[in-house]
Copies of this chain bind each other. A is one copy, B any other.
Amino acid sequence: MSESTPVRRRTIVNKHEISDKRMNDQKTQSQYQPYKDAAWGFINHWYPALFSEELPDQHVEGIQICGVPILLRRSNGRIYAVKDQCVHRGVRLSAKPTCFNETSIACWYHGFNFDLETGVLNNIVANPDSTLIGTTGITTYPVEEVGGMIFVFVREDDFPLDDVPPLHHDLPVRFPESGERFPHPLWPSAPSILDEGAVALGMHRTGQSNWRIACENGFDNAHILVHKDNTIVHALNWVLPLGILPTSDDAITLIEDEDGPKGQMQWLFTDRWKPVLENKDLGLKIENVNGRFYRTSVVLPGVLMVENWPEEHVVQYEWYVPITDDMYEYWEVLVRVCKTDEDRKKFKYRFDHVYKQLCLEGFNDCDLYAREAMEEFYADGTGWDNEQLVETDISPVTWRKLTSRWNRGIAKPGKGVTNATKTSSIRMRRLAEGKAPGYFVEKIDDLNKH
C-alpha cells in the first residue's frame, strides 16, 4: 500500500472568481449592523395583527409577531391584546380560549385568570386566595382599529406604555399634508388608511423567509423583472419597465420628521429615475402601450406604499410582519376612500373579481416566491456579507441604514415560543400532518372532539 504524501495542488487565482466589488462594501455594511442583527424584527412598533372581520365579537385569536405570542379578544366593542403565554407554565392562552367574563382571559389549563385591561393576574379558578394574585401578570399591547384592520403595538415587556407613539408614526406619509414635500401631478392626494371613509381590502398569508428579504423586494426597482410575464400586465397592456435606474443623488428622499414616520420616498417616474424599456444586447424590448405610473415609499417597521396602484385613486400597502427569524406574515392591502355605499360596493366588486386574483395573487405571488427563493442564501446569516449589490440597490441600502438609526428596538430571539425551537417534536408532528409553520395558534378543540 502506497505511503506517499497527499497530493498538493497549486492554488492559483481563478480569473473569473467572485470579486469584492459591490455597493455594500465593508464601510457601508458597518452602517447597518443593527439591521443585520434584526433577524427577529424591529420591536416596539405598530404592526397589523388581523383584519377586523377576522375577530368577531367575543372571539379570541392567537398570533405571533417578532417572536412575541399575542392574544386578541374583541369584547363588547373593544379589542384587547395581551401576551399569549401563561405566567404559570407557559401554555398559550389562545390554544383553548376560556373567558369567564367580558374583561378577562383565563388559562384553560390551571385556571389563572388575567384582566385584559391591565394584564394583572386577578384570580385563579381553584385558588382564589393565592398570594400570587395581584403580584404578577401578562404584558398588554395597545390596539388601534382603522379602515377594517386591527393594529397592535408590539412592545418589549418593559417598554413604557407612556412612550407608545401614535399609530400614524408607523404608517406611510399622508396627503394632502405631504403634498408639498412629495408632489405628484397624477395623484395629488393619494389615500391613506387613516382617511375618513378609507376602505382596506386585502389578504394576509405566511411567507417562509426572513422579513427583511421580503420587505426589500417591495421597493427594489430592479425586482419588477419577475413580473415581466404576469397576466394583469398583458391583459391591461401595461408598460412595466424591465427595471428603473437611479440617475441622480437625490433619487430617494429620507423621511425623518420628529413627529411622524421614518422612511424613504422614491422619486420614480421623475427625471431622478430612468425606466429601462429596452436592453438591446439581450434583445429585450417592452412593447406594451398603456402607461402605468406609480410611486413607492417605505416606512418603519416595514410598510410599503405603492401610490396609484393598481388603478387610480387606490394605493397598495404591504407589510412583512416578522413571525420568527425565518417566517413573516405577508399583508397585501388595497386602500381607497369610499364616500358612499355604492363606492364601497364597486370597490369590493372590482377587488373580488379582478385585483384579488390578478394582483394580490398572480402578480404578487411572484414576489412571494422570489423572497422564498432567497431564503436559503440568507438563512444562516452569511448572505448579508456575501451578497454583491449594485446601483439599483441604493433603495435597500438606504433603507438598511435608515432603519438601523430609527428602529425602536431589535427583537430578541424568541425563547419558549412557537417555532423558536426549530426541531421540537411537536413541530415535527405538525409537519408530518401536512401543516407548515405559520402565524396562527392551533386550537386544541380542533384536535380533540370529546
Given A390-B88, A429-B208, A447-B369, answer yes or no on A376-B422 (Cβ-Cβ < 8 Å).
no
Chain B residues within an 8 Å CB radius of A370: 91, 109, 444
- Which single member of B12, B125, B242 contacts A125 (CB below 8 Å)? B242
Q: Is the CB of B426 within 8 A of A120?
A: no
A435 and B432 contact, Cβ closer than 8 Å, known pairs A225-B126, A282-B125, A390-B132: yes
Known A126-B241, A126-B244; judge A327-B392 contact (CB<8 A): no
Q: Given A21-B136, A110-B223, are A376 and B125 neighbors across the interface (CB < 8 Å)?
A: no
Check if B437 sits within 8 Å of A100, measured CB to CB.
no
Q: With A and B bound together, what is the CA distance between A223 and B245 in angstroms?
A: 63
Which DSSP category, helix, strand, loop or mixed, fits chain A's interface? loop
Known A137-B18, A450-B230; judge A376-B127 contact (CB<8 A): no
Report whether A382 and B10 are in contact in the complex, using a CB–CB cutoff of 8 Å.
no
Whole-angstrom CA separation of A226 from B109 in the bound complex = 6
**Residue from A85, A231, A283, A377 with most neighbouring chain B CB atoms (10 Å):** A377
Q: A136-B388, A241-B126, A417-B376 are in contact. Are A437 and B428 (CB under 8 A)?
A: yes
Determine if B405 and A6 form an interchain contact, defined as CB atoms under 8 angstroms apart: yes
Q: A16-B119, A437-B425 are in contact. Are A226 and B127 (CB under 8 A)?
A: no
Alpha-carbon gap, A44 to B213, bound state (A) = 33
A95–B373 touching, CB < 8 Å: yes
Select the stretch in A176-184, A187-195, A340-348, A355-363 that faces chain B. Answer: A355-363
**Residues of chain B lying within 8 A (CB to CB) of residue A408:** 7, 9
- The verdict on A118 contacting chain B, using a C-beta distance below 8 Å, is yes
Task: Report yes or no: A14 in contact with B420, Cβ–Cβ below 8 A.
Answer: no
CA distance A67 to B425 in the complex (A): 14
A389 to B110: give the CA distance in the assembly, Å. 11
Known pairs A208-B428, A376-B418; A369 contacts B448 (CB<8 A): yes
Please indicate which of the listed interface residues A14, A128, A407 has the most CB atoms of chain B within 10 Å of its own CB: A14
CB-CB under 8 A from A422, the residues of chain B are: 423, 428
In the assembled complex, the CB of A400 is this many whole angstroms from the nearest CB of chain B, namely 12
Q: How far is the CA of A160 from the CA of B95 in the complex (A)?
A: 46
Q: What B residues does A236 contact at CB under 8 A?
A: none
Q: Quick check: B376 and A90 within 8 Å, CB to CB?
A: yes
Is B14 within 8 A of A157, CB to CB?
A: yes
A203 at the interface (CB under 8 A from B): no
> CB of A53 within 8 A of chain B?
no
Interface mask (A208-242 → B, CB under 8 Å = 1, otherwise 0): 11000100000010110110001100000000011
Interchain CB contact under 8 A, A373 and B276: no
Give A435 to B429 CA distance when docked, in angstroms.
Answer: 8
Residues of B within 8 Å of A419, CB to CB, are 425
Smallest Cβ-Cβ distance to A398: which chain B residue: B1
Q: Is the beta-carbon distance between A432 and B429 smaller than 8 angstroms?
A: no
Q: Is A365 an interface residue (CB 8 A)?
A: yes
